[in-house]
């Protein structure tokens, strides 16, 4: 890997994460845990911290902060990445550290009637967004980053761009939400026109999705189309 150009260790961490094309969420989490680790040890330079200090930090997380097993693992992963990819320190003892065991539990699954009642408690854009997440299986960030060009009403398909792992994928566009999404696009168009009149906005917001799909979601029925009316 190329040498790091940043001077500060946290900036070096960000630089390396971005070079390796990790997600922004991973970057935020790793920076948080490395910063917390450094502050826990009185702002000492992390190159001077070894196994004893790492064990003390992880023990503090487990015993004092009572973090979940998944959170504990994430903190350890952040320190492994930081030491190996940023400081360039080979610490075999870190890979041998015990990791907390995650308890397997049965998931709580709402019935279609319960899901429908929850939607009835929401209004406007919040309701439409919640229905879109449920009906397509997309993540919150993926839904927030949708653009006009990603909606293909003709093929009943939504394109999710740069999802998990930086990959694009196609999901079904729920028929029940088509009307609401068209209305939302109309409201967005009004806001866009106002921005243009005020000298704001950009050409990118006017892009139209023209990609010819090889694999789409048009042949799959969304679960929200099967919900009962409440």
pLDDT surpassing 80 at residue 101: no
Start-to-end CA span in the chain (Å): 57
Q: Are 69 and 100 spatial neighbours (Cβ–Cβ below 8 Å)?
A: yes
pLDDT tens track for 125-142: 999 999 999 999 999 988
Q: What's the CATH class of domain 9-95?
A: mainly alpha
Of the pLDDT bands very low, low, confident and very high (cuts 50, 70, 90), residue 220 is low
Domain boundaries, the chain: 9-95, 112-226
What burial letters (b/e) apply to 97-131, b meaning 16+ CB within 10 Å?
eeebeeeeeeeeeeeeeebbeebeeeeeeeebbbb
In this prediction, residue 98 carries a pLDDT of: 61
The dihedral sign for the CA sequence 37, 93, 8, 43 = positive
Q: Cα(34)–Cα(41) distance, rounded to whole angstroms? A: 11
Q: What is the mean pLDDT of the chain?
A: 84
For 130-197, give the DSSP string.
HHHHHHH---HHHHHT--GGGEETTTTEEEEPS-GGG--EEEE--GGGHHHHHHHHHHHHHHHHHHHH
Alpha helices in 41-111 (DSSP H): 51-63, 69-81, 92-95
How confident is the model over 61-92, as pLDDT tens digits? 989 999 988 899 999 999 989 988 999 887 66
* Residue 209 predicted with pLDDT over 70: no
- The answer to whether the CB of 215 falls within 8 A of the CB of 170 is yes
List, for residues 26-75, the tens digit of each pLDDT value: 999 999 999 999 999 999 999 898 888 988 999 999 899 999 888 999 99
């Amino acid at each position: 890997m190329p040498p790091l150009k940043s001077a500060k260790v946290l900036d070096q961490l960000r630089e390396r994460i971005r070079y390796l094309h990790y997600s922004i969420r991973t970057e935020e989490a790793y920076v948080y845990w490395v910063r917390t680790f450094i502050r826990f040890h009185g702002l000492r330079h992390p190159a001077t911290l070894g196994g004893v200090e790492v064990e003390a930090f992880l023990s503090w997380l487990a015993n004092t902060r009572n973090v979940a097993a998944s959170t504990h693992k994430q903190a350890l992963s952040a320190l492994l990445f930081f030491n190996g990819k940023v400081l360039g320190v080979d610490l075999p003892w870190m890979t041998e550290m015990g990791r907390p065991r995650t308890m397997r539990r049965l998931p709580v699954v709402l019935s279609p009637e319960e899901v429908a009642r929850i939607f009835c408690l929401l209004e406007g854009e919040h309701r439409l967004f919640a229905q879109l997440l449920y009906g397509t299986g997309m993540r919150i960030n993926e839904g927030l980053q949708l653009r006009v060009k990603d909606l293909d009403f003709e093929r009943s398909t939504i394109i999710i761009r740069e999802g998990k792992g930086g990959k694009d994928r196609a999901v079904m566009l729920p028929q029940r939400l088509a009307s609401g999404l068209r209305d939302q696009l109309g409201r967005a168009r009004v806001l866009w026109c106002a921005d243009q009149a005020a000298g704001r906005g950009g050409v990118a917001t006017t892009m139209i999705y023209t990609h010819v799909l090889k694999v789409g979601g048009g042949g799959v029925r969304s679960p929200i189309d099967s919900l009962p009316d409440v």
